[in-house]
Amino acid sequence: MKITCEKNSLLKSINIVVKAVSTKTTMPILECILIDASTDEIKFTANDMELGIETKVEGTVQENGIIALEARLFSEIIRKLPDSEVTISSDSNFNTLITCEKAKFNIMGRDGEDFSCLPYVERDSCVSISQFTLKELIRQTIFSIAQNESNKMMTGELFEIDQDQLRVISLDGHRISIRKIQLKESYGEKKIIVPGKTLIEISKILSGETEDIVDIYFTENHIVFEFDQTVVVSRLIEGNYFRVDQMLSNDYNTKVTINKKELLDCIDRAMLMVKEGDRKPIILNIEDNTMELKIISQIGTMDEIIDIEMKGDNIKIAFNPKFLMDALRVIDEEKVNIYYMNPKAPCFIKDEGDSYIYLILPVNFIDVG
């Protein structure tokens, strides 16, 4: 195999596929990037058997062939080359020569035939949204997936299509995040659970531009994202997702409208009083158009009063401060509405049209006045 590409095209393509390179594996081939120049096109592929990414690379094929190169080393070598034309060639023993100007690297590749190609996925109906929108949907929900694998379903997000509406939902047992968007067309009904890792990695390679489109295909077991020169294929998580709608409610006894940044900064400060691993709640005392926030710990106490607009009853309620911060951080509005029922019931942070809903369970607290 022999190909010639500009350093920067190589680097761009490596940075895309490297997201699917396995980091914890005993199979060396999974730590590789496959260079496929078997036709007159150059393609890079990485595949950790759950997530696979393939991207086309600008360049010319001088001799057809394939080779698998250890991703970390390949990426480091390309990164440190001068900004110039790079030639990669390999022989039948997988000896690979990378040259650029006067620099010559000789490294051992692996047989490209041993590489697991991306699974073939039937592509019929496709949902098209902007890369910006997909990136935002992920950012605004991904923080509340479960971190540990004990409940596999909680490590993914539900993508639920109902005609021309797409809802993305994540939950971890303490909170639920829901983002809803309007699609341009109607697509029937579909529910799939996408692994959180897939969403985290894909959101790193999406452009974030509103005019760039990503096409999404679903099958029984896979989801495919197609955009720019890239195809991302991921397995889905099997099972029926939690029935979230029965946990939602529009009733409330107290509605608070508050400046988001003021609340966020205040909780951020208050968290200085909480040692890592400690579970001190932040106590909210909502009374007569003010919200007093207070944390008492071994380190000391912090309290602060924020002016708010409120409707309904006074209430005193406590939360894990991190959960409040996580939700507030991803909301773009300057003012947010928070709805409370009672100190034992979840609060809801949501906008008028329910385009986002963040449900957070309260925690018990000892009322020391």
The footprint of a copy of itself (CB under 8 A) covers: 73, 76-77, 80-82, 102-108, 265-266, 268-269, 272-273, 299-306
Q: Are residues 188 and 157 in contact, defined by beta-carbon separation less than 8 angstroms?
A: no
CB closer to a copy of itself out of 121 and 306:
306
CB closer to a copy of itself out of 70 and 160:
70
Check residue 1 and report its DSSP letter.
-
CB closer to a copy of itself out of 228 and 292:
292
Structure tokens at 214: 């990503």
CB of 68 to a copy of itself, least distance (A): 15
Q: Are residues 312 and 255 in contact, defined by beta-carbon separation less than 8 angstroms?
A: yes
Q: H or E segment at 268?
A: helix 260-270
CB closer to a copy of itself out of 96 and 170:
96
CB closer to a copy of itself out of 212 and 304:
304
Structure tokens at 1: 């195999």
CB of 366 to a copy of itself, least distance (A): 18
CB of 61 to a copy of itself, least distance (A): 23
CA distance 84 to 184: 43
Structure tokens at 221: 């077991």
The candidate with the shortest Cα–Cα distance to 359, out of 247, 241, 243, is 247
Instruction: Bin 347: left if φ > 0, else alpha if -120 < ψ < 50, else beta.
Output: beta
Strand arrangement, sheet containing 290-296 = 290-296, 282-287, 315-319
CB of 104 to a copy of itself, least distance (A): 5
CB of 266 to a copy of itself, least distance (A): 7
CB of 23 to a copy of itself, least distance (A): 17
CB closer to a copy of itself out of 215 and 304:
304
CB of 205 to a copy of itself, least distance (A): 24
Question: How many Cβ atoms from other residues are within 10 Å of residue 159's Cβ?
Answer: 22
CB closer to a copy of itself out of 58 and 303:
303
Contacts of 365 (CB under 8 A, 6+ apart): 281, 283, 318
Structure tokens at 34: 């496959």
Structure tokens at 61: 């094929």
